[in-house]
Amino acid sequence: MTSDRFGNALDPGVGYARGELLRSSADEVRRLRHAGKLAADFVARNGVERIGVFTGNLRYYPVSLEDVQELCEEWVGPGLFGEDLRKASINHLGGRGHEQATVVNRTSAGIVAAVLALSDGRPVVSLVPSGDRSHASVGRGARLACVPVIEVYEIPELKKVLEARLPSLTIITTVTSELSMLADSVTLQAVRLAKAAKSRVLMDEAYGARFRPVLHDGAPSLSFGADLVITNTDKAGLPGPRAGVLCGEADALVSVAAKASELGMEARAPVAVGAMRSLMAFTPDLLIAEVKDGQLLADALESVFGVGAVTRSPLGPKISEEDAHAHVLKVAGTEYSTRVPAETTAAIGMLMLQTLGIVTVNTHGQPGGRVSLRLKPTAGALKRVGGVSAIAQCLEAAMTETANHLEDADWFSELLFGGT
């Protein structure tokens, strides 16, 4: 597809249409900075205990005072906790015991570093669930490496590309940020095909490392035989901090870790210690609680918008950016707008942040992230913002207010950027 259903050209790098306001990553950074200010203003008025995080990312820092005093020291600390980090990573990802591990400052950083270190001037093959797409970091890493990305969705496609192109790196995304999932049998077959073609395999398990085993009785990440697995430490039942844990075969991992270090993508000791403690403390209970809250919220949104308008995922409801835009157009009584869906959902997110302190990817997501309306409640978030009915009413009001200002570029600019 080259355009959305409203005729707006899609940016192939991010998968959604750019608009007159959110023209680039730079504009999305401006939006992110203003969202930080709006959140700070909300806290000043209502207190931090009223902020509810609905991104699915808790981003706590689960370390003790002793950790800060000893392990977080930059020179000696990594030597003190390095083996514990390795064991915690292997235990979390289901390795055999010989694997090595490192921490990078973001999962995206680890993916970019892997592409740069392992692509070897050849096309990168990216397998994702049908109907979804690779994370933006795959394409960005490939552009930095000056190699193309070949995205495939089914095993026959993968087999054909592996036979024809002989890639040096195959990336398999088992669970996307939209929570589309590959069956374990497909993942296993893909790993075996790629290895037979002499391709390195990186599994993007940002969500999958816990989502599959806990909710779908899936196999541990490292059991599939990939060279490397990477997961987030602030998603799907892990409390944070924001970081990526990379684990796998030593030769591949060292190459990626070296590239990450060259580019300043490695996690420094304090972040690595927090990531280790996050892995050590994991139990399925937090993820299961998030699933329960997500379904309660989906029920509430369906009662307001209708069953067909809301897509359920295990972690909460979603309204696609195009469906949200169509709803706003209907409320506005028009079939056309100079706004694009990404701008519409950004405005809705900002209004919900201002009103109830609801933090979403539409306010705090990184440039290139998904722009659908996704509400993945983290622990305690529903209670902090007043419950599911309050959230549903807030969303409906935000859509109506956006519709009322749909062609007011100054209003949008002030809301998204503070008028700057």
Q: Is the pLDDT of residue 346 over 90?
A: yes
Residue 239: is the preceding peptide bond cis (ω within 30°)? no
DSSP of 62-114, one letter per residue? ---HHHHHTTT-TTTHHHHHHHHHHHHHHHHHT--S--EEEEES-HHHHHHHH
Tens digits of residue pLDDT in 372-398: 999 999 989 999 999 999 999 999 999
**pLDDT score for 243:** 95
Task: In the chain, list all ranges with CATH 3.90.1150.70.
Answer: 10-57+284-417
Q: Is the pLDDT of residue 420 over 70?
A: no
Tens digits of residue pLDDT in 20-43: 999 999 999 999 999 999 999 999
User: Quick count: other Cβ atoms within 10 Å of Cβ 8?
Assistant: 20
CATH of the domain spanning 65-280: 3.40.640.10
| Bridging pattern class, strands 358-359 and 52-53 | parallel
User: Do the Cβ atoms of 102 and 246 come closer than 8 Å?
Assistant: yes
**pLDDT score for 210:** 95
Tokens of 178: 């939209």
pTM summary value: 0.83
Tens digits of residue pLDDT in 275-299: 999 999 999 998 999 999 999 999 9
Between residues 152 and 369, the one the model is more confident about: 152
User: Quick count: other Cβ atoms within 10 Å of Cβ 224?
Assistant: 22
The pLDDT confidence band at residue 322, using thresholds 50, 70 and 90, is: very high
Distance CA 57, CA 237 (A): 9
Q: Is the pLDDT of residue 254 over 90?
A: yes
**Residues forming a β-bridge with 319:** 373
Q: How many angstroms from the chain centroid is the CA of residue 142?
A: 19
Distance CA 305, CA 326 (A): 12
**pLDDT score for 185:** 96
Strand, helix or coil for residue 18: coil
Tokens of 293: 């809250």
**pLDDT score for 263:** 95
Return the CATH number of 10-57+284-417, one of 1.10.3720.10, 3.40.220.10, 3.90.1150.70, 2.102.10.10: 3.90.1150.70
Distance CA 347, CA 326 (A): 14
Task: In the chain, list all ranges with CATH 3.40.640.10.
Answer: 65-280
Q: Is the pLDDT of residue 166 over 90?
A: no
**Residues forming a β-bridge with 373:** 319
Distance CA 347, CA 327 (A): 14
Please compute the mean of the pLDDT values over residues 212-226 and round it to a whole number: 96
Tens digits of residue pLDDT in 71-114: 999 999 999 999 999 999 999 999 999 999 999 999 999 999 99
Please compute the mean of the pLDDT values over residues 145-174 and round it to a whole number: 92
